[in-house]
A and B are shown apart, each in its own frame.
Chain A
């Protein structure tokens, strides 16, 4: 048994590691490309993403329109790149907001325990029992559809998950000897939380944040798909897929191209997120 176990751990430890590094180039490259294009969208000579050319509607990809045109004759490439901007802004900011609030809740719950913990866990339970899409829908319907409001709504939705991660990690770290040592020399709770516990919380939170980005990008797509996300002329991947659905039989590229781009992005994010989590989670990497 020991021989086969040793063999399998060797295989598990060496082979995936080498493969991971090679395989990581592709998703990282794709993500960098998406980020680069989203940032430089205004300066690389793209046509206006909302300029309509109705005679040229639903054209397949060609030399002039690299990815073709959509139902209203708008340039798909330009819309996808400007859509990336939308997805990235929402995807990066919303989890960040959730982590500021949820992280604080989770840390206080895990550190102080007792009544605060009970209250926080109850709060998380309630938010989780609430259908998340409904919360986002009512929120954007109430505040009005704009980039900021969609980000805010999705940010609120990411609070419970962030609170859970930070609470679990705080619980684990708060009983360690170095925290006890800090308390012995008279450090205040604030100091212990910010100087002793928070730094240890950052790696798992960062890994979780990467995964949260892909979840939020999908959620933003879903909102736009239902027509309650970013308002119409502004391009969004989910909205493009929803528009393209109407012409799936005559111009499938209008739905399938944004779908493929979204898939590639989410897949890459999950891939990199998994990788980072393997690196920072001692239970999964050290053994």
Chain B
């Protein structure tokens, strides 16, 4: 299977370049972490000593390959700030980000699929036009803006949902769920627009196919034609976009986590950038990039599995 092999090689090359690039960018950041830790009053000897302890006195490329070696065995080093292992820090935050990601996707799909199905029943009709305008409007909302508006509506005006703060699952499933509603709505209410548009246009294409004509000719009611015959073959682009979203959100959503004070991977990264905690930033970015690339790779594979036409063309060539 030369196609899969070529994809794998590409995956490895991209990952190598991304981590190297991160390492270089993060390491030319100004602000010596030794000074950040020791404070402004530290003597040059202290700083030099700490730099040596942290391994910062060695050349950058040496440090990179050192880091890469241990990263491949699952060790991303320890935070310069508090000595916490970076892998542990990421794993602690990951469930929050994953929950946010899943809930946001559920909301986005929950709006996108019904709206797309209803709007292709009569393209150009009143529902189609209203939903297209709504999608256009939501697409123009930056997430930090929508987050603020949602807080204003649901917390300040009606006092229905908590504005910020996170309740861990261990302290009650319901409280946890409630604390995640606004953050995931902020993501989902923007995301559904893209999913809906893609699904709608694919559905319109599918509905022109002969097998739909056959299904109609058999006398099936329109909703069965849509749900049972048109939806599945129209969902490939949707899945691709969904994969891109999931890949993008695996590292958390920096802004949404910041607005709602959620302890996710995104805020971990932001804190690392502010604190000049290079090793933490390096590890988190590498994790995010790997997640993004690997998920996209998997989606490419899934695409080939789901659509026989893609598989056929690719495997023959």
Enumerate chain A interface residues (CB-CB to B < 8 A).
8, 11-12, 15, 122, 125-126, 129-131, 133-135, 137-139, 141-142, 214, 218, 221-222, 225-226, 228, 238, 241-242, 244-245, 248-249, 252, 255-256, 259, 262-263, 266-267, 270-271
Contacts and interface: CB of A to CB of B under 8 A. Distances in A.
A244 B10 CA distance: 45
Contact of B251 (A131, A141, A271): A131
Nearest to B269: A134
Contacts of A262: 142, 145
B161 interface: no
A126 B152 CA distance: 39
Contact of A266 (B140, B259, B269): B140
Given A129-B293, A262-B142, 14 more contacts: A8-B123, A122-B17, A129-B292, A130-B18, A131-B289, A138-B281, A241-B148, A245-B148, A248-B151, A248-B156, A248-B163, A252-B152, A259-B148, A267-B140
Nearest to B251: A131
B254 to A, nearest CB: 6
A2 to B, nearest CB: 12
Contacts of A141: 29-30, 273
Interface in B285-316: 285, 288-289, 292-293
B288 A134 contact: yes
A241 B292 contact: no
A222 B29 contact: no
Given A126-B17, A252-B156, A137 B145 contact: no
Contact of A142 (B28, B148, B259): B28
Contacts of B235: none
A126 B151 CA distance: 36
B156 A129 contact: no
B142 A218 contact: yes
Nearest to A132: B248
B25 A135 contact: yes
Contact of A126 (B14, B145, B149, B273): B14
Interface of B: 10, 13-15, 17-18, 21-22, 25-26, 28-30, 123-124, 136-137, 139-145, 148-149, 151-152, 156, 163, 248, 251, 254-255, 258-259, 269-270, 273, 281, 285, 288-289, 292-293
B140 A214 contact: yes
Given A122-B14, A248-B152, A12 B124 contact: yes
Given A126-B14, A259-B148, A270-B136, A226 B254 contact: yes
Contacts of A245: 148, 151, 259
Contacts of B123: 8
A256 B152 contact: yes
A142 B30 CA distance: 6
Task: Tell me the interface secondary structure of chain B in the complex.
Answer: helix
A131 B30 CA distance: 20
Contact of A221 (B140, B144, B151): B144
A74 B149 CA distance: 22
Contacts of B137: 267
Given A126-B18, A129-B14, A142 B142 contact: no
B149 A256 contact: yes
Contact of B292 (A12, A131, A244, A267): A131
Contacts of B270: 137, 226
A138 B137 CA distance: 31
A137 B254 CA distance: 11
Nearest to B139: A270
B211 to A, nearest CB: 15
Nearest to B247: A129
A142 B29 contact: yes
A243 B281 CA distance: 26
Nearest to B244: A128
B273 A263 contact: no
A93 B125 CA distance: 40
Contacts of B30: 141-142
Given A142-B29, A270-B139, A248 B292 contact: no
22 contacts: A8-B123, A12-B124, A15-B124, A126-B18, A129-B15, A129-B18, A129-B292, A130-B18, A130-B285, A134-B254, A134-B288, A137-B273, A141-B30, A222-B142, A225-B255, A238-B142, A241-B145, A242-B144, A249-B156, A263-B140, A266-B140, A266-B142
Contacts of B13: 122
A-B pairs, 9 with minimum CB distance: A267-B140, A218-B142, A266-B140, A259-B145, A126-B17, A225-B144, A142-B29, A129-B293, A249-B156
